[in-house]
Every structure is written in C-alpha cells, then in structure tokens.
Amino acid sequence: MFFDVLTLFPGMFDSPFADSILGKAVERGLVNITAHHLRDWAEGKHKITDDVPYGGGDGMVLKPEPVVSALRDLKAKRPQARVLLMTPQGKPFRQQHAQMLAGEESLIFVCGRYEGFDERIRSMVDSEYSLGDFVLTGGELAAMAMIDAVARLVPGVLGNRDSALGDSYSDGLLEYPQYTRPADFEGMKVPEVLLSGNHAAIAKWRRRQQLLRTLIRRPELLDDACLSEEDRRTLDDLLQDQADGHL
C-alpha cells in the first residue's frame, strides 16, 4: 500500500516509520511511505509556498498553486489514490475509517501549516480528517497517526492476522484487560479464568470485560456497537449492577 505525504517538513517522517512493526513492513515492501517536500512544486527563485490572507488577519496561508501542482503529479502516478486533508475542521478519525482506508491501494495526505491553506485546495480533496477538537502546529502528526492506524491493518503487517480483531474500537467496544507472567505480582493476581485453559469461559469473560469497560469509560460507544442478544443480556446485568452500586 502506498502512503504519500505532502508537507513542508518531510524530515519529520523519517524516524516514526523506521522502527518496530511499520519499519519491518516498509522493509518487506508491504507499505511504502514517502514524504514529499511541498517546496519542490513552488515557483520562483525563493520557492514561496505561503502568503498573507486576503481580507487581512494574522499569520500566513498556504498558496493553492504548489499544493494543486503536487497533487496533480502524485495523482498522475497513482490515479486511484484518495486525497486526505489534515484539518481541525475535518471529521474525527475513528477506527472504522482506518478499516475503510486500509482497503485502498494508495492514500495522499495533505498537511496544512500556519493559518491553514487556500480554500480552493479543497477542490482536489476526497476527505478531511481531524484527530479531535484541538489544534496542532501542523497536519504532520495527524498524518503520522492515521498512517500508523491504517498501515497496521494492511494484510501481513501484523504477525498474526487476527491481532487487530480484538483491538479497542475494532467492534465498537473497548478492549478487555490483558495479563502476562507472573500470575501474582505484589499481591495482584491474574483472574483465575485466564489460567483455567477453558477457552469458552475465557472468551465469555473477555466479552463481559469489554462491555464493562465500555460501559464505565465510554458508555456513548454502546449506542453504535454491534451487540448480540447475549451481549445485551450481559449489558442489562451490568446496568443493574451499576444501578445497585456494585460497579
């Protein structure tokens, strides 16, 4: 899968994707991540990429010419690529978006800077995303986070193809608690069910824990989660326990 990033600071992308799982995925050719310097498409002796905003105001605005020229060149190489704009005005990025985008062959990320970008850039954008209701100094960190979230879902990137299935948000719920050795750490013991070897009981316990954690920490997620009839019965029991003050 190809990830192209249009940015004024391409050096920011060197280290985050050089190590660990994504570093290995790059080495194996499963993903290709390239940061392109926006100034390479700027015109004139000084390669200017920004200018003062019409109508006045503080800060500088990215000019449309270099961004549009860059996107046209990148799209000429990979016509099917989806263009994603990093902006606080975009829709909040969610796990379901990562799952959808992982099915694409190529993505192009446009990273804004300064006071933003000329509005006419939006004519070449397919989707706009934000990491949340806060403002960063630029879109690079948002693009890195999205690339990480999408790339790990590309087949072959994770060692076990089922590893992502139990992640938080993969099915609309938070992930269940995880434990490893030792079984007793400073008096804090691993739940007995996880030591039982009874896989059906373990699966039931984990699902209950997912519902419990989501109910306590992110109850709003339950409105859109895909729940079975057994899940709903378990949730009713948990809600009763909550009402009785047992949670």
Q: Which residues does the annotation mark as catalytic?
A: 88, 115, 152, 167
What residues does 85 pair with on adjacent strands? 110, 128
**Pick from 27, 4, 3, 9: which is nearest to 141 by CA?**
9
Nearest to 58 by CA among 115, 105, 18, 12: 115
Cα–Cα nearest to 136, from 68, 89, 97, 94: 89
End-to-end CA distance of the chain: 45
Residue 165's closest CA among 205, 207, 107, 130?
207
